[in-house]
Amino acid sequence: MNRLLRSEFRKVATTKLWWGMLLGSIAFAALGVVAQIAANGVKNNSAAPLTDPATQRAVLSSSVSGYLFSAIVGIIIITTEYRHFTSRPTFLLEPRRARVITAKVLVAAAVGLLYGIACVAVSLLIAVPWLSAEGVSLDWVANGLIVVLVGSIAVVAIFAVVGVGVGALFRNQVAAVISALAYLFVLEPLFTVIPVVKEAYRFLPGAAGSALAGVSRPQVTLLTNWQGALVLLGWGVLFAFVGWALTVRRDIP
Amino acid sequence: MADERGRIVVSGVTKLFGSVRAVEDLSFTVEPGAITGFLGPNGAGKTTTMRVLLGLAAATAGTATVAGVAYARLPNPGRVVGAVLESTSFHPARSALNHLRVYAAAAGIPDGRADDVLALVGLTAVARQPVKGFSLGMRQRLGLATALLGDPRILILDEPANGLDPEGIAWLRGFLRHLARDEGRTVLVSSHVLSEVEQTVDSVVIIARGRLVHEGTLDELRGRGAVSVVVTSPTPDRLAEALVPLGASVSSGPEGALRVTGATAAHVGHAAWQAGVELHGLRQESSSLESVFLELTEDSAPPPAEPPALTP
């Protein structure tokens, strides 16, 4: 397994994808923090003042936006093999395909963890000095800010694993990325407005991630942090299993 | 058995893609110490057979073994078999050296070997350049380098001469001969052009429409060709009449000569002599290797479709 981990790590490290996506996730996180602090107190902004713990949690949970990028990296880690037919040397050197997928899942999770930590670091670097300049003091433990930060990192890491499963399912890179984005931005939000399935919404990956990162969604009841953590972890395991099972069963193109 | 370690055995392999039979009941054996050509027109099932042999595709029926076991059961396959399937398996942005290091890591091979195999195929100068700038010939060499990483006893190469210039083909020929004859490795190379590998291979496995049509040496292949006699005479009509008792088929040959198939030069000469027909030329011709190959592979039925390609 060490050999495979090393091989998979090198695959990621020897192309520019990982840091391009890292910059993207950092930029999104920073944008979220800046927008929320700058817009606070502006006329017609319904958000509570910066001294409100809920607002503080919302500002810091901008870190979670890295999940989009980590999911795409997860997808690309596997679909790039089929796109460029590097799947052939990969599975020739390790015909036990499940091990290859396991290595990819672990490397994707590590990349996701890195993105999550980077996003949290950038959010803190912007929010902490800015808020203290505004005269706001932060109570990290009592107001659950720590939970938001740790939860955000976990969400970003787990979505990378989900991405590997989605990639293994579709194999076609463009189809996988478009489907994942369409699901997260169109399909899943639709659940909140359809009465019959509305109750199921909070168990879906995006909603569970929001719960884990402490993001609040208007007019929707989310799971608690811990429930969100368990449900999202479940999705991660499910998608990893899908990737594993499909790759073992299907012919390698 | 000592030979088992280098032998490739395909036994009764059938591979269906939906209802399309890409390979049907195919059996052949490849022995070490020689270069075996795996020939057939495009779409005959060569790549599919190799994918089954290498464990990338599951056979619908039959078995294929490398070094005595199914490929997927080899403990460290990179050390036993080196394979290249259609040399396009590279990430375009990755450099040649990094490409090799990725796979060296997977096979537990020291990084230094990556530099060695690059030197072996003559790509040291471009080691740090991304593969996207490589010509087809350079990609073929890099594919070969990847296959050689684990110093394998068995090499399986799909169309390795494709895209090589004449100089490259001559280099490849010498290289493969050295690996097979001097070092005793097993080398299986596929091609859809017999002439491309004619001077390289020792024996051939020929398939068409997914079925075996010939397995053996090149001489045996030559022997399957029709023998004909080209005979010239100032009185071709009388000659044709004299040849009737032979029961051979007579057609008009080049420059007023007659082409007789189904009889030897001795038969034709004797018949002419008995009838008192004057002969000016008499020679026996066997069909060229290429035409035997075409005859064997160009039968009436349309070739089966290639497996559905995965469109990225």
Six token digits for residue B205: 């496995």
In this predicted structure, which of A172-176, B42-46, B253-257 has the lowest mean pLDDT?
Answer: B253-257
Q: By CB neighbour count within 10 A (0-12 exposed, 13-18 middle, 19+ buried), where does A221 fall? A: exposed
Average of per-residue pLDDT across A189-206: 88
Architecture per CATH, B2-219: 3-Layer(aba) Sandwich (3.40)
- CATH dotted code for B226-286: 3.30.70.100
Q: How are beta strands B258-261 and B227-232 bridged, if at all?
A: antiparallel
The shortest C-alpha distance from A78 to chain B (Å) reads 12
User: For residue B86, which residues of chain A lie inside 8 Å, CB to CB?
Assistant: 85
Å from A15 to nearest chain B CA? 6
Domain ranges of chain B: 2-219, 226-286
What does the pLDDT read at residue B3? Answer: 63
Q: By mean pLDDT, which of A97-111, B21-35, B98-112, B296-310 is the weakest?
A: B296-310
| Mean predicted lDDT score pLDDT of chain B | 88
At B53-92, the pLDDT tens digits run: 999 999 999 999 999 999 999 989 999 999 999 767 999 9
Please count the structural domains in chain A.
1
Task: Give the pLDDT score at B111.
Answer: 95
Confidence (pLDDT) at B299: 64
Mean pLDDT of B185-192: 94
Tell me the per-residue pLDDT of B103-129, one tens digit each, with 9 for 90 and over.
999 999 999 999 999 999 999 999 999
CB contact under 8 Å between A10 and B98, yes or no, is yes
Residue A27 has pLDDT above 50, yes or no: yes
Checking if the pLDDT of A44 tops 80, the result is: no
Mean per-residue pLDDT for B175-198?
91
**What CA–CA distance (Å, rounded) separates B258 from B238?**
12
φ, ψ at B185 (rounded to 5°): -80, 165
The answer, yes or no, to whether ipTM is higher than 0.85 is: yes
Hey, is the C-beta of A179 within 8 angstroms of any chain B C-beta?
no
Q: Answer yes or no: is pLDDT of B303 > 70.
A: no
Kindly report the nearest CA distance between residue A102 and chain B, in angstroms.
Answer: 13
Q: In terms of Cα–Cα distance, which of B40, B42, B65, B32 is closest to B204?
A: B40
Residue A194 has pLDDT above 90, yes or no: no
- Judging contacts by C-beta atoms under 8 Å, the chain A residues touching residue B50 are none
Is the confidence at residue A116, as pLDDT, over 80?
Answer: yes
Segment A55-82 mean pLDDT: 94
Average pLDDT rounded to a whole number, residues A160-184? 95
Contacts B75 to A, Cβ<8 Å: none
Identity of the residue in A6, A86, A172 whose CB atom sits nearest the CB atom of B105: A6
Q: Does B309 touch chain A (CB under 8 A)?
A: yes
Residue with the two structure tokens 């020897």: A14
pLDDT at B227: 78
Amino acid (one-letter) located at B216: G
Residue with tokens 């004909």: B228
Task: Give me the domain span that covers residue A199.
Answer: 2-249
Which of B54, B56, B98 lies nearest to residue A14, judging by beta carbons?
B98
Distance of CA B283 to the CA centre of its chain: 31
Taking the mean position of all CA atoms in its chain, how far away is CA B104?
28
pLDDT band of residue B311 (cuts 50, 70, 90) is very low
Q: For chain A, how big is the Rg over CA atoms in Å?
A: 19
